[in-house]
Structure 1
Amino acid sequence: MAVAQTLPMNTVKFIQTVQEGVYRNLVQIAEDKGITVQDLIRAVIIPEWHAQTRTASRPPQQRSRRS
């Protein structure tokens, strides 16, 4: 019997398509870390991308300051 999963109200689902070679790389990295590809994307890749993107989009004077 399948169990329905309740998501918090502030979550959003999305679908991502990647090339086969990229997916194979993600699988290998996830296996090396002992996690799933979904966990890798959610817990590692997205936070790192977000941090890099946020830093890169700030004006230079703000990048050198620590918050």
Structure 2
Amino acid sequence: MARLLAMLGQTRIASNLNQLAKMAHLGTLPVLPDTEHDIRRACADVALMRRELLRALGRRTDTEPS
């Protein structure tokens, strides 16, 4: 699981999704409502994968209290 978390961090998935979302927000990437929904869903899915991997490793996530 630690390797999976490291691999997720090394990919450009989160960065690429963030760039797409930023371009859509700025209006430089015209998107339909379905496209925006898909981008938001993909971002949420990546965040969920990270949280679940951290939790499985016994680590506190950013959204959990100290």
Same-fold call, TM > 0.5? Answer: no
Give 1 or 2: higher helix fraction.
2
Please tell me whether Structure 1 or Structure 2 has the larger radius of gyration of its CA atoms.
1
Larger RCO of the pair (alpha carbons < 8 Å, separation 6+): 2
TM-score (norm 1): 0.34
